[in-house]
Every structure is written in C-alpha cells, then in structure tokens.
Amino acid sequence: MKVLLINGSPRQNGNTATALGEVAAQLKKNGIESEIVWIGNKPVRGCIACNQCKAKAGGRCVFDDDVCNRISERFASCDALIVGSPVYYGQPNGALLSIIQRAFYSNGGAIAGKPAAAIAVCRRGGATASFETLNLPFQMMNMPVVTSQYWNIVYGREPGQAALDTEGMQTMRALANNMAFLLKATGGTPAPGRGDEPWAPMHFIR
C-alpha cells in the first residue's frame, strides 16, 4: 500500500518537508510505501468554475500549465493522502488550496473514500484554523480523517527547526502509525459512503 504526501510549501526543504519526512519514515517502519510530492514555487491557477474538466477533459483540469494535474494523476495509484502546509495569515498556503480544489473537483473520484490527514506547520499561531481548513475537503470527499495523539501541528520558523519540536515529531509518528493501522485493517479499501445510492442534492432556493 502507498500513501501520497503533498508538500504544500513553496520551500522544498523547509519545515513542512521535515514534518512530512518524519511521517514517511514512520510509515516505512510500518511497511507502508510513501511518496512526497512538492507543489513547487511556480504560479498556480485558481479554479474558475468552467466545468470543462467534467465536460471535456476526462478528469483533468483544462489548465494544464501548472502542477495540479501532475498531482491529481497520482490519486489512482495511492491508497491514502496526507497534505502538509505552512501557515500564512492563519490559513494554508493559497497555492495548495487552489491545487486541492481543482484536483478534487476534476479527479475526485480517484481519491474519494481513501484515508486522509492534514498537517499544519507554523511559527506561532494560526495552526488550528489552517488544520481545520485542510480537513474540510476530505470530509466532502468521504475520506476517513486519520487522527493522531494531538492535532497534527508542528512548530518551527527557520528550515530544520521543526525537528526540534519533540512533541510535534512524536505527533507525526503517531499519525503515521494510525494511518498504517487503518490501511492494514481495511486492506486499502476506500470507504463506501453512499455506495450505489444516487446523490440527492438539495438547494434551498426552489
């Protein structure tokens, strides 16, 4: 089984990478493969609600000039997802949010029902708000949210300082242990959600 980890920081080797690396190392100890994908530091488009991914593009965002499709095409081959982000103004990195929104909308069927977890990395404050924001798309996609011994928060400012957050690193290892446990317990089978029951959307304006 394999877990896809997304490094949502513009700094490839910053504290978000340190947190994700701790998770990946612990997953390996549990016999679970992982891949860390960096979103890079190039411009990322936001979703413009054109719906062309549904109408014409076959599960790919029609904007193919950034990293979004390169990430979403990995959804089918992974059994779980972990997304890490630095905290900017009490929120996750905006580029990462754009990628998640576009990837989930265009290719959500490939990731729906698979276990997921979020990690927020900050200097001091705003981590809980960012953590909650990152978890919201998982719940809409019927993805079981994997927990740890605490909220998945790691502290550090300068690159490498996250490794000094002993509780944060322990929290990352506990997260990895719980992810491995769930994957092994379910055999990597995605959660069924509504199963064969058709979606019953309701709008409050009739």
Q: Which whole-number Å values give the CA distances from 174 to 102, 142, 148, 168, 186, in the listed order?
A: 30, 22, 5, 10, 18
Return the domain boundaries, the chain: 2-186
Question: How many residues belong to the chain?
Answer: 206
The model's pLDDT over 23-55, given as tens digits with 9 standing for 90+, comes to: 999 999 999 999 999 999 999 999 999 999 988
Q: List, in sequence order, the alpha helices (H) in the chain.
A: 15-29, 52-55, 68-72, 94-107, 127-140, 166-186
162 contacts 155 by C-beta, under 8 angstroms = yes
The model's pLDDT over 127-185, given as tens digits with 9 standing for 90+, comes to: 999 999 999 999 999 999 999 999 999 999 999 999 999 999 999 999 999 999 999 99
DSSP string for residues in 97-120: HHHHHHHHHHHGGGTTTS-EEEEE
Q: What confidence score (pLDDT) does residue 204 get? A: 85
pTM across the whole model:
0.96
Q: Which whole-number Å values give the CA distances from 157 to 38, 100, 124, 128, 149, in the listed order?
A: 19, 24, 8, 17, 23
CATH topology (fold) of 2-186: Rossmann fold (3.40.50)
pLDDT higher for 200 or 100? Answer: 100
